[in-house]
Amino acid sequence: MSKLKLGVIFGGMSTEHEVSIASGYSILKNLNKEKYEIFPIYIDKNGEWYNFREISKESAILDNNLEKINDIYSYLKKCDLVFPILHGKYGEDGTIQGLLELLKIPYVGPGVLASSIAMDKVYSKIIFEKANIKQAKYVYIRKDNNKYIYIDEQFNEIKDNIQNICKKIQEKIAYPMFIKPSNSGSSVGINKAKNIEELEKYIEYASTFDNKILIEENIVGKEVECSVLGNEDVKASVLGEIAPAEDFYTYDAKYNNAESKLTIPANISNELTEKVRKTAIKAFKAIDGKGFSRVDFFVNTVNNEIYINEINTLPGFTNISMYPKLWEYSGLKYSDLLDELVELALKNN
């Protein structure tokens, strides 16, 4: 049997470039070389595409191992299937998925619609609301030509100065509150405000990443994550629990602070675990998810409520990342998980 020609795309133009390189390396190392002929593709921060020759050395990127791909279309057309393991903008947001759709190349992970909904925190919330999934109360604002716009529940737009907008937000949500660029990842641009001065400052800061900004009430509870896998018939993994080393799960707490702890399985009751697993599948289906995703929640063990936080359609994929770890604990090895993702992508085609 001839080998499946599998393109693995990593790097990318987002703030999560480095994380994607780590995910890409892990995947390249663990793919079964008997089954796949691998085409490793690296996209640099400027969006230039390269054929990556060396796939065994971690430092290889820095070496002379890159060969510029001038004709991206022809290069991609050589692949039977592509695994885009790009996190964040231009990777997890439906754009590369759209390119692959146009080229008629099957790919691992959710399609254009699910990717773009999940990447946008405001639009994710609108879908979760429709699906009646509990989540943090929120306010949506936009910045347009240096003016702020408060968007109410019926999508009416109220233009005002930042001070008045902050006053309106305070009337709806209590401090502390979370301020997030609608399109973000790895906690970039996210802050927690304790008062109106901070609220104003963090809104201005978030607006440097995206003109859509989400303000959320603070949810008190454990952070738990669930891996889902499947197209129509979707499975949910055991749950993982995160105890961030900092006040919340910031970029540093995620990647630089060894004190952040991951616990598998999460230390919550069976009843709450089942509720999270069921809701994870429901949310994944609600956004039209296919293939795989990691669905993140807050769980309040005092009042037994669960709140969805977000869906990551291309979650971190190093061999110590939560997504594959949860499957490993559920009995599915990293390399077998890769095979299953490939199968799902082929079936979905």
Ligand X SMILES: Nc1ncnc2c1ncn2[C@@H]1O[C@H](COP(=O)(O)OP(=O)(O)O)[C@@H](O)[C@H]1O
- Helices within the chain (DSSP H only): 17-30, 72-77, 95-102, 112-119, 121-130, 162-172, 196-206, 251-255, 270-286, 322-329, 334-347
For ligand X, how many residues bind (rule: CB under 6 A)? 18
Is 142 within 8 Å of 213 (Cβ atoms)?
yes
**Which listed range, 13-21, 26-34, 181-189, 272-280, lies at the site for ligand X (CB under 6 A)?**
181-189
**Which listed range, 19-27, 150-158, 177-185, 329-337, lies at the site for ligand X (CB under 6 A)?**
177-185
Apex CA 296: angle with CA 212 and CA 22, to 5°?
A: 85
Q: Give CA–CA dist 171/150, Å, rounded.
A: 13
Residue 26 CB, shortest distance to ligand X, in Å, is 20
* Out of 25, 42, 249, 292, the residue judged to bind ligand X by CB under 6 A: 249
Applying CB under 6 A, does 310 fall inside the site for ligand X?
yes
Q: Give CA–CA dist 225/264, Å, rounded.
A: 10
Residue 219 CB, shortest distance to ligand X, in Å, is 4
Is 94 within 8 Å of 26 (Cβ atoms)?
no
Nearer to ligand X, 41 or 228 (CB): 228
Beta bridge partners of 148: 143, 160
| Residue 198 buriedness (CB in 10 A; 0-12 / 13-18 / 19+) | middle
Residue 300 CB, shortest distance to ligand X, in Å, is 11
Calculate helix-pair angle for 162-172, 196-206, nearest 10 degrees: 110
Residue 1 CB, shortest distance to ligand X, in Å, is 40
- Return the amino acid letter for 233: D
Please tell me the total number of residues recorded for the chain in this structure: 349
* Out of 136, 141, 238, 268, the residue judged to bind ligand X by CB under 6 A: 136
Nearer to ligand X, 93 or 296 (CB): 296
**Euclidean distance between the first and final Cα of the chain, in Å?**
21
DSSP state of 292: E
Residue nearest to ligand X (CB): 249
Applying CB under 6 A, does 185 fall inside the site for ligand X?
yes
Residue 254 CB, shortest distance to ligand X, in Å, is 8
Nearer to ligand X, 165 or 299 (CB): 299
Applying CB under 6 A, does 191 fall inside the site for ligand X?
no
Applying CB under 6 A, does 225 fall inside the site for ligand X?
no
Applying CB under 6 A, does 133 fall inside the site for ligand X?
no
Residue 29 CB, shortest distance to ligand X, in Å, is 25
**Which listed range, 62-70, 109-117, 205-213, 244-252, lies at the site for ligand X (CB under 6 A)?**
244-252
Applying CB under 6 A, does 313 fall inside the site for ligand X?
no
Nearer to ligand X, 19 or 344 (CB): 19
Is 84 within 8 Å of 92 (Cβ atoms)?
no
Applying CB under 6 A, does 178 fall inside the site for ligand X?
yes
> Could you give the strand order of the β-sheet that contains 36-43, starting from the edge strand earlier in sequence?
66-68, 49-52, 36-43, 4-11, 81-84
Return phi, psi of residue 11, to 5°.
95, -115
**Which listed range, 73-81, 148-156, 161-169, 242-250, lies at the site for ligand X (CB under 6 A)?**
242-250
Binding site for ligand X (CB under 6 A): 136, 178, 180, 184-187, 190, 216, 218-219, 223, 244, 248-249, 296, 309-310
